[in-house]
């Protein structure tokens, strides 16, 4: 200690400066310690987390941040999504079947919502609207949402929700307009809740087991040390959800994947819509639970004067389809995250109901 | 005339005040709900607040939401864009809401799901204007809750039920007012419910106690309907088809559908044109039944010491039951109706009727196509153990 202090003293003229350096050192050590103990504190700006390198809007992932894709995305008003996971240094996700992967404390799932100016020409650029974070704390998840500024330089924490006017040209060349609704923080849980606890939805084996740039996404994660707790045999046993946009998959698998991704986060025995008795998860096999000839329970005017959730062979007499088609907030399904009707999804479910034997 | 002018001035003053304050007022309120901490009191200011999104309280404990009083604090969802409810409370404990008016949401006005300890006091929940089928389903809607107390609340204009308690346990509904709804008060798949001292009028059906199939909470029971005024519930049924309440004939006082251990006593059930007290099985709905764990028959129903009106009635012609009753009885309609649908494989239904003033009875024999309608009540001259009274 002694020689160290004298050495410092030689280079600095007065003792005050030494004290200042000392305090600085001490406080940085204290800060380092307190960072470990204080629970996650939300940043006001997205950029402050350091998830991305360079200009934020490029979404160029930093070290320990990696992108992922899902088989059957949730429809949210035609928004495109760029998904990432940030893992703490040296930590891994743990594989689980039938529920989302277990992520270590400090992990963050990052989902960026954006619209291409022209969906026919993505290279002409995009407008980032919102970035949602799911943050893994000791034994819970926390949801946060950041709204991008018009200049696309940063996104800012939003608690109460917001409305953002948007316009784009869709893939048929038609101009679309939308007052985009950013959910308030409680509404995150409207979808992300199982047994009342906030949980991720998309990071499951069924959703992420897919080819990305020609290679298996999950195998890559295993070799890169991002995912543990799974053998090659277990991986081979995973039945991935179908890509519901892929016409080469069977109608049944596409329709069920669509319902799983868009409805089952609530319409699940442990989800918030379990009051309805309509369960649409991919593993459901009981036709009644899936809505076949099932009368509604508390649908109110959501029934659209139709008698059953699904009337086989008769899409126009099926409540499920009616609620997908409607845009009234008291009728539409899903309740949250959708204002526009999903034409392609509606067509898929229509075909599915149509071909059911009556 | 001068009254009208004064109220116009008041209304417009309200509008002007809300127009400029609106976005900030909503923002402040949304933030307050999201960031509320356990133990907080959330004061709702007096005046009208226009909201475009659901006010949602989630995962909180010991919260009091307090307005300046019915019609003094008005939360209006007239221009709602997002969310299916006005106020939503989920996964919470010991929540009290009191002293405000909620109106015109797109879906339900107040929904509480998985709340343990919920008190709704002095709340008016309404769809304004004429009752119409585009109104939301439920005004006050606790579902999957425990220890619910709804007191001195008013529910108006619901296209399903004004006060609807579903899949819950330990429920008090008292001193409430429900009118211009399809169903005034509905208790569904709920255990230990006390419905007393309410006034329920001008709905299509007054008080309904239902057990329905296909639900996570299978069976309700131990429901006391006591000292209520169930008056002229003769409103046209404006529920969208497909809903179970759309099947309720206009002019229904109290209806017990497939529920068990229900006691209906000391009520004044007056001037309900079609049927004053109906005790029916799920099969009366003519809906297919696939739920194998579900028991579709009512059982242990005790209807006693109620008062029914003496006058003749003209049943509704808009419902086949009304027509059928009219053809059979003309205007001398029986007050208490049992559909007579039973299953020999199930224990006897035990439906007991005692000391009802003007309590005429009919078993309409619905199981055999209404062939042997009987007005003989001797089979039902029995008593059942009384349910406990509320403290």
Across B299-310, average pLDDT = 96
Q: Mean pLDDT highest for which of A20-29, B13-22, B107-116?
A: B107-116
Dihedral sign of CA atoms B372, B374, B380, B386 in order = positive
CA-based nearest distance B49→chain A, Å: 16
Cβ within 8 Å, pair A196-B114? yes
Rounded distance between C-alpha atoms, residue A52 and residue A59, angstroms: 6
Report pLDDT for A117.
97
Residue that the structure tokens 């898929």 belong to: A348
Cβ within 8 Å, pair A181-B216? no
> What residue segments make up the domains of chain A, in order of their start?
46-236, 251-354
Whole-model pTM: value is 0.84
Report pLDDT for A29.
59
Report pLDDT for B368.
87
Q: Hey, of B82, B167, B219, B245, which one would you mutate to test binding to chain A, going by the most A CBs within 10 A of its CB? A: B82
CA-based nearest distance B91→chain A, Å: 6
Rounded distance between C-alpha atoms, residue A66 and residue A254, angstroms: 27
Across B290-313, average pLDDT = 93
3-class SS of residue B6: helix
A252 or A270, greater pLDDT:
A252
Q: Is the pLDDT confidence value at B312 over 50?
A: yes
pLDDT tens track for B180-201:
999 999 999 999 999 999 999 9
Report pLDDT for A168.
97
Cβ within 8 Å, pair B214-A189? no
> What residue segments make up the domains of chain B, in order of their start?
127-380
CA-based nearest distance B381→chain A, Å: 35
Please give the backbone phi and psi of residue A122, each rounded to the nearest 5 degrees, phi first. Answer: -55, -30
Cβ within 8 Å, pair A303-B56? no
CA-based nearest distance A100→chain B, Å: 21
- First-residue to last-residue Cα distance in chain A: 87
- Chain B residues with CB-CB distance to A295 below 8 A: 214, 242, 244, 287-288
3-class SS of residue A179: strand
- Chain A residues with CB-CB distance to B105 below 8 A: 330
Across A149-169, average pLDDT = 94
Kindly report the average pLDDT of chain A as a whole number: 89
Of B34, B84, B288, the CB nearest to A159: B34
Q: Is the pLDDT confidence value at A84 over 50?
A: yes
Cβ within 8 Å, pair B133-A296? no
CA-based nearest distance A189→chain B, Å: 8
Q: Mean pLDDT highest for which of A331-340, B1-10, B183-192, B315-324?
A: B183-192
Q: Is the pLDDT confidence value at A38 over 70?
A: no
Report pLDDT for B65.
98
Cβ within 8 Å, pair A184-B114? no
Report the b/e string of A228-263 with b at 16+ CB within 10 A: eebeeeebeebebbbbbeeeebeeebbbbbbbbbbb
Report pLDDT for B391.
72
Of A193, A294, A301, the CB nearest to B240: A301
Cβ within 8 Å, pair A307-B241? yes
- Chain B residues with CB-CB distance to A306 below 8 A: 241-242
Across A190-194, average pLDDT = 86
- Chain B residues with CB-CB distance to A199 below 8 A: none
pLDDT tens track for B121-144:
999 999 999 999 899 999 999 999
Which residue of chain B comes nearest to A181, CA vs CA? B82
Reported as a pLDDT band with limits 50, 70 and 90, residue A10 is very low
Q: Is the pLDDT confidence value at A303 over 90?
A: no
Which residue of chain B comes nearest to A299, CA vs CA? B243
Q: Is B28 exposed, middle or buried (0-12, 13-18, 19+ CB in 10 A)?
A: middle
Cβ within 8 Å, pair B242-A304? yes
Across B244-252, average pLDDT = 94
- Chain B residues with CB-CB distance to A328 below 8 A: 106
Report pLDDT for A322.
96
- Residues 6 or more apart whose CB falls under 8 angstroms from that of A20 comprise none
Reported as a pLDDT band with limits 50, 70 and 90, residue A299 is confident
Across A96-106, average pLDDT = 93
Q: Is the pLDDT confidence value at B88 over 90?
A: yes
- Chain A residues with CB-CB distance to B257 below 8 A: none
Cβ within 8 Å, pair A306-B137? no
- Chain A residues with CB-CB distance to B291 below 8 A: 288
The C-alpha torsion from B174 through B176 and B178 to B183, rounded to 10°, is -20
Q: Mean pLDDT highest for which of A251-265, B344-358, B365-379?
A: A251-265
Cβ within 8 Å, pair B56-A187? yes
Of B57, B108, B215, the CB nearest to A277: B215
Which residue of chain A comes nearest to B32, CA vs CA? A160
Chain centre distance of CA A121: 25
Of A303, A331, A335, the CB nearest to B243: A303
Q: Percentage of residues in chain A with pLDDT exceeding 90?
A: 72
- Strands A60-61 and A65-68, by their bridges, are unpaired
Decide if A95 contacts A222 (C-beta within 8 A).
no
Beta bridge partners of B264: B225, B303
Dihedral sign of CA atoms A47, A52, A54, A59 in order = negative
- Supply A342's token pair: 């999903």
Lowest-confidence region among A26-30, A97-101, A206-210, A221-225 = A26-30
pLDDT tens track for A198-213:
999 999 999 999 999 9
Which residue of chain B comes nearest to A295, CA vs CA? B242
Of A293, A296, A330, the CB nearest to B84: A330
CA-based nearest distance B55→chain A, Å: 9
Reported as a pLDDT band with limits 50, 70 and 90, residue B317 is confident
Of B35, B90, B215, the CB nearest to A297: B215
Q: Hey, of A143, A298, A299, which one would you mutate to test binding to chain B, going by the most B CBs within 10 A of its CB? A: A298
Report pLDDT for B22.
44
Reported as a pLDDT band with limits 50, 70 and 90, residue A167 is very high
CA-based nearest distance B12→chain A, Å: 27
Would you state the CATH architecture of domain B127-380? 3 Solenoid (2.160)
Q: Given 3-state DSSP classes, what are the helix, strand and coil percentages for chain A, each rounded to the nearest 5? A: 30, 25, 45
Across A335-345, average pLDDT = 93
Of A160, A269, A302, the CB nearest to B31: A160
Which residue of chain A comes nearest to B24, CA vs CA? A160
Cβ within 8 Å, pair B106-A330? yes
CA-based nearest distance A59→chain B, Å: 29
Report pLDDT for B291.
86
Rounded distance between C-alpha atoms, residue B376 and residue B180, angstroms: 35
A143 or A98, greater pLDDT:
A143
Report pLDDT for A219.
94
- Chain B residues with CB-CB distance to A329 below 8 A: 80-84, 106-107
Reported as a pLDDT band with limits 50, 70 and 90, residue A20 is low
Which residue of chain A comes nearest to B132, CA vs CA? A301
- Chain B residues with CB-CB distance to A181 below 8 A: 53, 81-82
Cβ within 8 Å, pair A301-B134? yes
Which residue of chain A comes nearest to B143, CA vs CA? A275
Lowest-confidence region among A88-92, A269-273, B66-70 = A269-273
Lowest-confidence region among B157-166, B185-194, B283-292 = B283-292
Report pLDDT for B19.
37
Rounded distance between C-alpha atoms, residue A128 and residue A113, angstroms: 6
CA-based nearest distance A344→chain B, Å: 23
DSSP string spanning B39-62? T-EEEPPSEEEE-SEEEEEES-EE
Which residue of chain B comes nearest to A298, CA vs CA? B243
Kindly report the average pLDDT of chain B as a whole number: 91
């Amino acid at each position: 200690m002694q020689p160290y202090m004298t050495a410092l003293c030689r280079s600095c003229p007065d003792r005050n400066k030494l004290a200042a350096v000392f305090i600085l050192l001490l406080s940085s050590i204290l800060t380092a310690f307190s960072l470990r103990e204080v629970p996650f504190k939300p940043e006001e700006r997205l950029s402050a987390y350091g998830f991305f390198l360079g200009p934020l809007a490029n979404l160029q992932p930093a070290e320990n941040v990696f992108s992922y894709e899902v088989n059957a995305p949730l429809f949210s008003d035609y928004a495109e999504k760029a998904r990432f996971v940030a893992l703490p240094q040296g930590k891994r996700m743990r594989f689980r079947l039938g529920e989302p992967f277990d992520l270590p404390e400090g992990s963050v799932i990052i989902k960026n919502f954006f619209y291409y100016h022209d969906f026919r020409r993505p290279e002409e650029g995009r407008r980032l609207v919102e970035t949602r974070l799911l943050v893994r704390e000791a034994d819970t998840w926390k949801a946060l949402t950041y709204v991008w500024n018009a200049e696309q330089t940063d996104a800012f924490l939003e608690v109460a929700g917001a409305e953002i006017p948007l316009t784009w040209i869709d893939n048929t060349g038609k101009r679309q307009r939308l007052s985009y609704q950013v959910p308030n923080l409680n509404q995150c849980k409207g979808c992300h809740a199982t047994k009342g606890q906030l949980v991720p939805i998309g990071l499951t084996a069924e959703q992420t087991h897919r080819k990305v740039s020609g290679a298996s996404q999950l195998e890559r994660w295993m070799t890169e040390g991002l995912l543990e707790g799974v053998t090659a045999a277990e991986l081979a046993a995973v039945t991935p959800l179908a890509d519901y946009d892929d016409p080469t998959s069977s109608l049944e698998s596409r329709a069920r994947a669509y319902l799983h991704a868009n409805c089952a986060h609530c319409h699940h025995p442990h989800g918030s819509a379990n009051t309805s008795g309509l369960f649409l998860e991919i593993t459901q096999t009981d036709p009644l639970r899936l809505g076949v000839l099932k009368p509604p329970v508390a649908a109110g005017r959501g029934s659209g004067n139709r008698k059953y959730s699904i009337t086989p062979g008769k899409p126009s007499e099926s409540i499920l389809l009616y609620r997908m088609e409607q845009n009234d907030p008291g009728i539409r399904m899903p309740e949250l995250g959708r204002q526009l009707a999903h034409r392609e999804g509606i067509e898929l479910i229509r075909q599915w109901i149509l071909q059911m034997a009556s | 005339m001068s009254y009208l002018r004064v109220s116009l001035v008041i209304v417009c003053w309200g509008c002007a005040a809300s127009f400029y304050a609106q976005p900030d007022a909503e923002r402040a309120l949304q933030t307050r709900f999201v960031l509320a901490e356990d133990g907080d009191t959330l004061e709702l200011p007096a005046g009208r607040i226009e909201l475009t999104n659901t006010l949602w309280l989630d995962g909180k404990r010991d919260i009091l939401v307090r307005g300046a009083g019915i019609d003094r604090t008005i939360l209006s969802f007239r221009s709602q864009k997002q969310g299916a409810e006005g106020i939503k409370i989920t996964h919470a404990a010991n929540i009290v809401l009191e002293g405000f008016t909620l109106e015109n949401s797109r879906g339900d006005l107040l929904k509480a799901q998985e709340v343990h300890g919920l008190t709704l006091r002095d709340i008016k929940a309404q769809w304004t204007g004429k009752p119409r089928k585009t109104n939301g389903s439920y005004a006050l809607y606790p579902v999957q809750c425990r220890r619910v107390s709804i007191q001195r609340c008013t529910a108006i204009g619901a296209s399903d039920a004004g006060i609807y308690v579903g899949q819950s346990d330990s429920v008090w509904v008292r001193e409430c007012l429900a009118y211009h709804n399809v169903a005034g008060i509905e208790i569904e798949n709920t255990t230990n419910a006390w419905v007393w001292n309410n006034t329920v009028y001008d709905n299509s059906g007054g008080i309904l106690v239902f057990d329905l199939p296909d639900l996570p909470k299978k069976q309700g029971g131990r429901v006391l309907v006591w000292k209520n005024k169930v008056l002229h519930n003769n409103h046209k049924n404006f529920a969208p088809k497909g809903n179970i309440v759309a099947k309720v004939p206009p002019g229904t006082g109290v209806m017990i559908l497939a529920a068990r251990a229900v006691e209906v006593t000391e009520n004044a059930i007056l001037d309900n044109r079609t049927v004053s007290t109906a005790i029916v099985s799920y099969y009366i709905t003519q809906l297919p039944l696939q739920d194998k764990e579900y028991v579709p028959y009512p059982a242990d129903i005790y209807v006693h010491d109620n008062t029914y009106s003496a006058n003749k009635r003209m049943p509704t012609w808009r419902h086949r039951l009304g027509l059928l009753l009219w053809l059979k009885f003309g205007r001398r309609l029986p007050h208490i109706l049992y559909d007579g649908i039973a299953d020999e494989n199930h224990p006897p239904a035990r439906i007991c009727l005692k000391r009802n003033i003007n309590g005429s009875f009919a078993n309409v024999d619905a199981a055999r196509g209404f062939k042997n309608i009987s007005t003989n009540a001797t089979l039902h001259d029995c008593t059942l153990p009384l349910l406990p009274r509320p403290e």
